[in-house]
Structure 1
Amino acid sequence: MYGNIRSRDFLPELTFSASRSSGAGGQNVNKVNTKVELRFDIANSSILTEDEKSRLLAKLAKRLTQDGTLIIVSQTERTQLKNKAQCLLKFYELLESSLTVQKKRKPTKPTLASKVKKMEAKKHQSERKATRRSIDY
């Protein structure tokens, strides 16, 4: 319905910033800005349609800032370039999963075989519990 998200070029609308990572990594962490932060303003995007914007704003509400900006952070890799690639990968996966429309579940009725199997299991359980009872003399 929404087409292939990866075929669209979002790069002009994405903002990247780098900072120092936290955690283990020795001297490299202390002196190199490898942590990358990707920012995407959904409401002001010219690439997305109005329907896609409203869907993303609803689905990603907990991940957005108050002004509707999506922030994705990556600091797992040792280089800024790899973290930037990780951010882009996360971004596209998040958009694809959020814009995918799930099929409505069609409720089905249990089959005769499943009903029989359920009754057999109940009978078996009942017999097992009946043998635990104390015998009155």
Structure 2
Amino acid sequence: MNTAILISELTFKAIRSSGPGGQHVNKTASKVEVAFHLESSDALSENEKERLLHKLSNKISSEGILVLQCGETRSQHRNKTIVIERLIALLHQNLKVVKPRKKTKPSKGAIERRLKSKKEHAFKKSNRKPPKIE
């Protein structure tokens, strides 16, 4: 994934924010929405595109566009940097290949320790009961 090319492919849109700022919110468009067309991107290989389309299928629109937005701060520039960082982090996170789990067995010593502690616990519980009178 080439981050420089990816950033140049992003399209930004400024929207009126509903966040903090008082009357300032009603006058300025400080919320930033970023759109990234995944299928036509040159920054990603075909393999990476397939992986992202599969993993982010619930976040990608039917046209193949991934949309994120940020309206946390009063500054449009800060919101823009935050949303770019979020997008890159989201892509990096979903491009990671998860290693398959290797099945392992517990060692003999671990099995014996577990059984020993179970017997001790059971003995402790049985000692708390009142004695049986015949």
TM-score range, shorter chain: 0.7 to 0.9
Q: What's the secondary structure of 1:30's corresponding residue?
A: helix
Partner of residue 46 from structure 2, selected from 31, 34, 50: 50
Partner of residue 98 from structure 1, selected from 94, 103, 114: 94
- Contact 2:6–2:42 (CA<8 Å) still a contact in 1? no
1:34 equivalent to 2:58? Answer no
- Contact 1:36–1:83 (CA<8 Å) still a contact in 2? yes
How many percent identity over aligned positions? Answer: 37
Match of 1:115 in 2: 111
Match of 1:76 in 2: 72
Structure 1: 5+ residue runs without aligned partners? none
Find runs of 4+ consecutive structure 1 residues off by over 2 angstroms.
Answer: 5-8, 131-136
Report the TM-score, using the length of structure 1 for normalisation.
0.86
Give the AA of the match of 2:92. E
Report the TM-score, using the length of structure 2 for normalisation.
0.88
Matches of 2:52 and 2:86, distance apart in 1 = 15
Over residues 85-113 of structure 1, what are the superposed CA-to-partner deviations in whole Å (9 max), with x where a residue is unaligned? 00110111111111111112212221233
Equivalent pairs counted in the alignment come to 133
Matches of 1:97 and 1:24, distance apart in 2 = 30
Structure 2: 5+ residue runs without aligned partners? none
